Chains A and B, each alone.
Chain A
Amino acid sequence: MKVCMFHLMPYRELPEDFEQRTESVWITPPSELFDPARAHVMYNETLDELEYAAQLGLDGVCVNEHHQNAYGLMASPNLMAAALARRTTNAALVVLGNTLSLYNPPLRVAEEYAMLDCISGGRLVAGFTVGTSMDTNYAYGIPPATLRERFFEAHDLILQAWTRPEVFSFNGRYTKLRYVNLWPRPLQKPHPPVWVPGSGSIETWEWTIRHDHVYCYLSFYGYANAERMVQGFWEQVAKMGVEPNPYRFGFLQLVAVAETDAQAQADYEEHIRYFYRKCLHVSPRFAEAPGYRTMASIRYGTGAFGRISTAERMAFTWRDYVDRGMVIAGSPATVRERLADAIQKLRIGHLMVLLQIGSMPHELARKNIELFAREVYPYIRGTWDDRWQDHWWIKPVAAPASPAALRG
């Protein structure tokens, strides 16, 4: 079992009435709400929090990519990973992921991932992301009907660039290159492990399994809600005659640990509510452009995965968050038990825990990280290892170079 700390890096200081007076947290949040002086603090706190998790021994730290929103400020995940590379030693750098169709040419992903792998001594987990509709269609202008095709083609180019020793040409539909000859190349062989985050497109399952990558389900409505969807993934695994190794699967779970269950509510409720009400305040105008999901996915998903309405989301109480497993919150014992249940039910080999949530301030995030790392992580880390091997994990160098001491 591998456990990584995930960070969305939300803008933590939106006004109280944000969702009442603005249309959307994504694409059109008013620019005057962004204070770069506060963002300076937030970026550094975010990096501090991830480094703290790494320091306390979690297996990895995760960054991600989103654009033009207050939900998550990592427009360039590779910049965040580069900052983390020098201040972490053993932790995997899980970049989940580069939204492939937004890099022109996608060769840039191959190069930057190679740099990160070299700089970190072979600690990169390379996430390949299709991307949300907000990011790809509305922020970056990618025609929805072409998105998946671009993603598949970019993936092929990147893997070829990493693995083909000769200078080659790539005559793709979306990218044409005469001379591809990557310098640098990644440290890990044959290449860094590839993880593919998704949220319900059935084509992604088949493609991910066929390419022997990890499929990560990132959704905020908890493992109870996810069960039916994840079952679909494991059915696809079985249908393809592939072994149900839990390390084929990654899952994101919001976790909030306190001394007692009651203390967890006292500490975290306000920030979790901020997340669900403000961070997820996405206008239906931008949530899903026509053609973003294939018609096959829409037919499969309509009604089956229970898309949550705005009204429902706004009405959630603490009990809803907890009882539906949207957040696993409580004392260390409660969290251990609920997490163990989720891990078994969904067969999670790569667990990603969101330990800074919504408006959660830095000191509280540190508390959550520390309690999780000391009181929960040791109890779950051994899961699966008696039976299954993780073929999708980092292979770092034995004696990594460490940064020289700064001289005054």
Chain B
Amino acid sequence: MVAAQRRMVQLRDGRFEAEVLTAGSGQPVVFLHGASGLYWDDFLSALAERFAVYAPHHPGAGGSTGLEHLEHLWDLVLYYYDLFDALGLESPAVIGHSFGGMVGAELAATDQSRVSRLVLINAIGLWRDDHPVGDWMAMTPRQLARLTYVDPEAPAARARWQPPEDPAARTEWQIARLSSLAATGKFIWPIPDCGLHKRLHRVQCPTLVLWGQRDGLVPPLYAEEFGRRIRGARVEILPDAAHAPHVEQLPRALELVSGFLAG
């Protein structure tokens, strides 16, 4: 179990401060988290044994400030290039989960030189009227958990969606979760389609699309949609996982992702 270090990075003369969890050495890999927040979990820990992992909190989530200066998704994309610059990352691999997947895809599409390899884990960003993406911001934590995990009661899952008992800890936990939902929601409310479908043709780096078959939020047909639109993309759908295969099917997910990142 590799513990992460907290690094605070100033951007644009202090307008932004990014909180980045980082560990490991070697090939740089950036992990962009999903709407509910960033968790330094066994997946990131295991990756940190082989790679230099950088996991920033999105602006407005965790200790990352400056959300008020970002109006549109375009602003967020440019923010991340600035963050890569500040971290000395020329062309890292990028793993994006859910909302983070959409952002990762935009980063790879916009400036093709800045992302060397792309992993999309149950990514949002596309929309089909016949299978709308679920509205996770109109769900209770329990309702969302049921769509996110095959087994919401398993310890790894429960740790991520169940609030702590202690009232003070509970308040802080809720505030952290709400902050992340609000901050990511700013860019994709009310429908998580910001036009990524118009830009995916620009993704040129090797891409792995990893999905949980039983995702109740973003059904696996979206994995095929990403796969079709990104030249040469590889699609892997894991049967006993839902919206977070890197949590519920850790060994297999790790094998696929590590192997893919190592080239």
Contacts and interface: CB of A to CB of B under 8 A. Distances in A.
A25 B139 CA distance: 16
A392 to B, nearest CB: 31
Contact of B175 (A144, A145, A298, A303): A298
B178 interface: yes
Contact of A298 (B68, B140, B178, B186): B178
Contacts of A143: 185-187, 189-190
Contact of A291 (B139, B143, B178): B178
Interface in B169-216: 171, 174-175, 177-179, 181-183, 185-187, 189-191
Contacts of B189: 137, 141-145, 289
Interface residues of A, number: 21
Interface in A295-330: 295, 298-299, 302-303
Nearest to B188: A143
A289 B140 contact: no
A265 B183 CA distance: 48
Contact of A289 (B137, B143, B167): B137
A173 interface: yes
Nearest to A27: B138
Contacts of B174: 298
Contacts of B175: 295, 298-299
A195 interface: no
Interface in A268-316: 284-286, 289-291, 295, 298-299, 302-303
Nearest to A289: B137
Contacts of B179: 290, 295
Interface in B139-166: 139-140, 143
A285 B71 contact: no
Contact of A138 (B138, B182, B191): B138
A291 B181 contact: yes
Interface in A145-197: 145-146, 149, 173
Interface string B57-99: 0001000000110010000000000000000000000000000
Contacts of B167: 303
Contacts of B139: 285
15 contacts: A138-B190, A141-B189, A141-B191, A142-B189, A144-B137, A144-B182, A146-B186, A149-B68, A285-B140, A286-B138, A289-B137, A290-B177, A291-B183, A298-B178, A299-B175
User: Would you list the 4 A-B pairs with minimal beta carbon distance, nearest first?
Assistant: A291-B182, A290-B181, A143-B189, A141-B190
Given A138-B138, A289-B137, A290-B178, 4 more contacts: A142-B189, A284-B140, A285-B140, A290-B137
